[in-house]
Amino acid sequence: MDLGAVISTIPSTLRLLSNLKAEPLPDIPILAVKVKVTWCCNLSCIFCSLPEPRLTMARDTALKLGRELSAQGLRKVHFSGGEILTHPECFDILSDWARLGVQVNLTSNGFLMDKEQIKRLEDAGVHSVSLSIDSADRKVHDRLRGRKGSYKAVIRAAARIAARGRMKLRVNTVVTSFNIAKLPELRDLICGLGAGISWKLIPVDPIREGLLPSASVLEDTAVMVRHWPELEDNAPFGTTEEEFREVAAGRHGFRPGFCYVPWFNLFFAPDGACYPCCMARGQMAPLGLYPGDTVRKIVSGRPLSAFRSLIASGAKHEACSYCDDFLAENRTIADIVSHRTFVT
């Protein structure tokens, strides 16, 4: 589901979004949510640092959350972790939310996604699966993901999902100094899986020395990928020398323009801690702690109002300095709002 496109068909919401500077606290439905149902993972990716303890969200809590968000107008959920397939109740959670009429998407490292698990995901009503593939070179992928056999498993899962065609397949690639030179080979591999697969290049977060590509390598790569049609974003590293330098320093939030995300999106961690978006986790106090704080209380609470007012003022929160999320959605909304092509 293209959220930007969905929002563009709701004139009342667009009208409110176009007026945020004057009225930063309008009543807009929460249309999208990201839920991390577990911090457990079966891989040890070198660019990842998961919180301890490795909590999980129970099925009944997840279902209650889904019901409350549905009542708020939710259209789409993205589940991830950790690794969602390590959650003992993951298929129940997915089918619970699908039955609520919400579009269900998920991200997985693919390691556990054998033939049977793929069929269970399809039967649960999952719309799209984003698999993490970092290289066409088995050794490079396994090294980045911290486990032998992870390349073989994820490629097999991707090929099966593409061949069956019941769920949309997306590929995420975390771009590091280890894999950036071989993106053309990875592109060949992804295109060879089938048509209609979308691909996202994600600049690595600088949690470890030596992972960030240099500005000059990023610039050369940016020129190369500019016209790759399978990419969701053709400028993942920016377009100017200054932006390449920013990304090479680990700061990905270089995009100009306004972020509309805090008005239509929420993020929940396995312990129920809620934030306006994924990137804000760890950068601010939670907006509330579900289920002690209900969705209604979180949405109408002072912390979310304060965050929205800050973003509406044109200021950037510290989290935004590292954020490369929701680029397409923000672009679509900004485009429509600036041209005022919606019916008022």
Binding part of the chain for ligand SF4, among 6-14, 163-171, 221-229, 271-279 by CB under 6 A, reads 271-279
Selected from 277, 295, 336, 337, the binder of ligand SF4 by CB under 6 A is 277
The Cα–Cα gap between 298 and 317 comes to 19
Dihedral in degrees, nearest 10, Cα atoms 260, 266, 269, 275: 60
Instruction: Kindly give the pairing relationship between strand 128-132 and strand 168-175.
Output: parallel
The residue (of 214 and 338) whose beta carbon lies closer to ligand SF4 is 338
Tell me how far, at minimum, the Cβ of 324 lies from ligand SF4, in Å: 8
Write out the two tokens for 220. Answer: 């050369």
- Among the residues of 73-173, which ranges form H helices? 90-99, 115-124, 138-145, 150-164
Tell me how far, at minimum, the Cβ of 326 lies from ligand SF4, in Å: 5
The residue (of 244 and 263) whose beta carbon lies closer to ligand SF4 is 263
Q: CA angle, 178 as apex, 196 and 269 as ends, to 5°?
A: 65
- Among the residues of 9-89, which ranges form H helices? 11-17, 59-71
Instruction: Please tell me whether residue 253 adopts helix, strand or coil conformation.
Output: coil
Q: Is residue 262 near ligand SF4 by the rule CB under 6 A?
A: yes
Binding part of the chain for ligand SF4, among 57-65, 168-176, 224-232, 276-284 by CB under 6 A, reads 276-284
Residues 200-259 that bind ligand SF4 (CB under 6 A): 259
Tell me how far, at minimum, the Cβ of 20 lies from ligand SF4, in Å: 12
Distance from CA of residue 304 to its chain's centroid? 20
Residue owning tokens 């619970």: 96
Binding mask 300-339 for ligand SF4 (x = CB under 6 A): -----------x-----x-xx--x-xx-------------
CB 343 within 8 A of CB 10: no
Tell me how far, at minimum, the Cβ of 323 lies from ligand SF4, in Å: 3
Tell me how far, at minimum, the Cβ of 39 lies from ligand SF4, in Å: 20
Q: Is residue 197 near ligand SF4 by the rule CB under 6 A?
A: no
Q: Is residue 269 near ligand SF4 by the rule CB under 6 A?
A: no
Write out the two tokens for 235. Answer: 């400028």
The Cα–Cα gap between 55 and 40 comes to 7
Binding part of the chain for ligand SF4, among 38-46, 76-84, 118-126, 274-282 by CB under 6 A, reads 274-282
Tell me how far, at minimum, the Cβ of 266 lies from ligand SF4, in Å: 11
CA gyration radius for the chain? 20
Q: CA angle, 83 as apex, 80 and 85 as ends, to 5°?
A: 95
Q: Is residue 134 near ligand SF4 by the rule CB under 6 A?
A: no
* Nearest CA among 194, 242, 195 for reference residue 215: 242
Tell me how far, at minimum, the Cβ of 307 lies from ligand SF4, in Å: 8
**# residues contacting ligand SF4 (CB under 6 A):** 14
Instruction: Please tell me whether residue 104 adopts helix, strand or coil conformation.
Output: strand
CB 161 within 8 A of CB 155: no
Residues 93-122 that bind ligand SF4 (CB under 6 A): none
The residue (of 139 and 316) whose beta carbon lies closer to ligand SF4 is 316
Tell me how far, at minimum, the Cβ of 204 lies from ligand SF4, in Å: 17
Residues that bind ligand SF4 (CB under 6 A): 259, 261-262, 276-277, 279-280, 311, 317, 319-320, 323, 325-326
